[in-house]
Amino acid sequence: MSQEILLAVENLRVVFNTRNGQTLAVENLNFSLNAGEVLGIVGESGSGKSVACYSLLGLIPTPPGKIESGRALFHGQDLLKMSELELRKVRGNKIAMIFQDPMTCLNPNMRIADQLTEVLLQHKGVSKQQALHNAIAALEEVGIHDAAKRIHEYPHQFSGGMRQRVMIAMALLAEPELLIADEPTTALDVTVQAQILALIKQLQQTRKLAVIFITHDLGVAAQMADHVLVMEKGKLIEQGPCVEIFKNPTQEYTRKLLNAVLTTAKPLPSAAQYDEPPLLEVKQLKVGFPMRVGSIFSKIKAYARGVENVSIDIHRGEILGVVGESGSGKSTLGRSIIRLVDAQSGEILFQGKNLRDLSEASFNNLRPQIQMIFQDPYASLNPRMTVFDTLAEPLLVHDLANQSNVLELVKSLMDDVGLDRRFIRKYPHEFSGGQRQRIAIARAIALKPQLIIADEPVSALDVTIRAQILALLLELTQKHNLTMLFISHDMSVVRYLCDRVVVMQHGKLVEQGATEALFAAPQQEYTRHLLAAIPTL
């Protein structure tokens, strides 16, 4: 007996009209989805994964977007021919969606209770009391403890993983038949990601949901999907059963995606100079965040724990990885070294000098030697400065260049990070995420620093772009003899890049050791927990 086809998409073509002409986002896409089945759609950013699914529900902006042709038959009815009123009855009711960033999808001015009950009041016509009861039950089902109390809180009072659970609860409240999950775990820790994936899988099986799971992470797709579509530049490259596609890919692009999945140790020998004194020593560092009781004008009563008595050292030429979940103190440790966060006690010895004892003026003279690469280059790059201005500024400020040679030095930096020299007059918004991160890296190496602190620099990138950026970092550390503190929650990234690893939990150092030794025989349960959460093919 054949399964019922829930959704059939035929010859879908979507374009966007821009000032530079027409851009083809999805070209003649065909696929079908059976009831109760999970379909994975994989590909890099710009491959058309999200646009294809958004267009089914009338969620692409028109203009500039336009659905030029195609059909999307849901229970035999063409979604693309429905009026806005008809689509509203389908969206959130029959077909629900989980978006990538819950913080931008949840209304910050509304309590969670109001946002959840709105779904039921709109689509099911139940009473407010019944809607609240169902909403609390939905929060409990997705694993939020003390749901009856927490439902009256605001989105900012939840962690990233908890906000994503709220989004899942909201999506499932009206008991839809089809769930579209658009990169729902991209920005989450590996452990939280594992929890969310397990939750979606469990709910899909218990409710017999059909799911379209959009992702650039092939390990996640392998874990979640029955069938897979591989997309590139708006086109369907290949499709088939998940096991078959990943075991015997027929297309070069699919093989490229598979090869970008990190499963190996560091491909280059360590350049660490362990026979010399450490370049950086952190001793018994303690960092807390001030807490006030009452109003913001109250005196500081206590300090919330950030980093507690952490001691590490980094040798010249070494890449030291710092791993742990959100809230473990990784970023606080990195920021305190460069004095973006004040420490309460401890020593930060850089080339024998205690950075905490230096005056602001003395430390400013030392700043060129310690640079930072931030997680989000779009937030850390000035949107009003061209690439040339961004890279020239530190060179001119620190007298490493003058007006006669600064252009050549900027072009040389562009060469170092693999960007076309013609792009130097462009602005950050004109680049992709991976290109922006290359600009941020170029800015960090411009002053030829001795130490770079990289805070989650690849966490939001596609697997292929991530592989390129990691290869670039390895190449630059060798070429410029850089020393790096690399902060990440992704153990596979740390294994590929780092010589040694430090594991942090709740602000404390839990375990440390040589990378391969730690991966082969982790001593602590928490480290084993992090390793077990890595998605694998």
Cβ contact 160:188 at 8 Å: yes
| Average model confidence (pLDDT) across the chain | 86
**Partners of 403 in the beta sheet?**
none
Return the structure tokens found at 492: 């596979």
Distance separating alpha carbons of residues 422 and 66, to the nearest angstrom? 32
- Cis peptide bond prior to 64, omega within 30° of 0: yes
Measure CA of the first residue to CA of the last residue in the chain; give whole Å. Answer: 31
CB 463 within 8 A of CB 490: no
* Between 103 and 383, residue with greater pLDDT: 383
* Averaged pLDDT for residues 486-509: 90
CB-CB contact of 475 with 445 (8 Å): no
Q: Is domain 316-344+361-532 given the CATH code 1.10.3210.10 in the classification?
A: no
Place of tokens 């004194």: 277
- Stated as kind and residue range, the H or E segment containing 476 is helix 463-480
Q: Say if residue 63 is preceded by a cis peptide, omega within 30 of 0.
A: yes
- Quick one: which of 43, 67, 53, 61 has its CA closest to 7? 53
Q: Tens digits of per-residue pLDDT, 277-330?
A: 999 999 999 988 776 555 555 565 556 667 888 999 999 999 999 998 877 888
Is it the case that residue 1 has pLDDT exceeding 50?
A: no
Q: What is the 3-state secondary structure (H, E, C) of 408-470?
A: HHHHHHHHHCCCCHHHHHCCHHHCCHHHHHHHHHHHHHCCCCCEEEEECCCCCCCHHHHHHHH
pLDDT tens, residue by residue, 404-444? 899 999 999 998 888 888 888 988 888 877 788 889 989 99
DSSP one-letter string for 205-229: HHHT-EEEEEES-HHHHHHH-SEEE
- The ranges of the chain annotated as CATH 3.40.50.300 are 316-344+361-532
User: Are the beta carbons of 189 and 325 closer than 8 angstroms?
Assistant: yes
For 352-400, how does the pLDDT look when each residue is reduced to its tens digit (9 = 90+)? Answer: 899 999 998 898 888 899 999 987 777 788 989 999 999 999 999 888 8
Q: Are 503 and 510 in contact (CB under 8 A)?
A: yes
Residue range 42-89, pLDDT digits in tens: 988 778 888 899 999 888 887 888 898 999 999 889 999 988 888 888
Query: What residues contact residue 242 under an 8 Å CB cut-off, 6+ apart?
Result: 40, 221, 222, 225, 226, 227, 228
Cβ of 359: how many Cβ atoms within 10 Å? 8
How far apart are the C-alpha atoms of 368 and 239, rounded to whole Å?
50
